[in-house]
Amino acid sequence: MDSFNTLIQSEKPVLVDFFAEWCGPCKTLAPLLREAKLQLGEQATIIKVDVDKNQQAAAAYNVRGVPTLILFKKGKIVWRQSGVVPTQEIVRVFKENALI
């Protein structure tokens, strides 16, 4: 949890994908996140957190369903969305929050 906390304190926005191996929509979201990372390059940090293996992190951010995406900037939640999010929406949210 310490390295997670250090990571989300970054100046650069960090998108956390709370997912589960058994989750169908999570599997749908994975290639969309990869595409967003390709488009954003170094301005994006995207990490995946398995809620079954990291229940403490999921509980700390009140993650009730998967997939849940949370965008952090300097440790603060600046955007949160549950469900599958299109690549262009992910890219838009990153670009908006990179400017803050």
Which among 48, 73, 75 has a CA at the least distance from the CA of 63?
Answer: 48
Rounded-to-integer distance, Cα 16 and Cα 80, Å: 10
The residue with tokens 């838009």 is 92
User: Is 29 considered catalytic here?
Assistant: no
Q: Spell out the alpha helix ranges (H) of the chain.
A: 2-8, 24-40, 55-60, 87-98
Give the active site residue among 8, 16, 20, 26.
26
User: Is 4 considered catalytic here?
Assistant: no
Rounded-to-integer distance, Cα 62 and Cα 58, Å: 6
Give the active site residue among 4, 7, 12, 23.
23
Residues that are catalytic: 23, 26
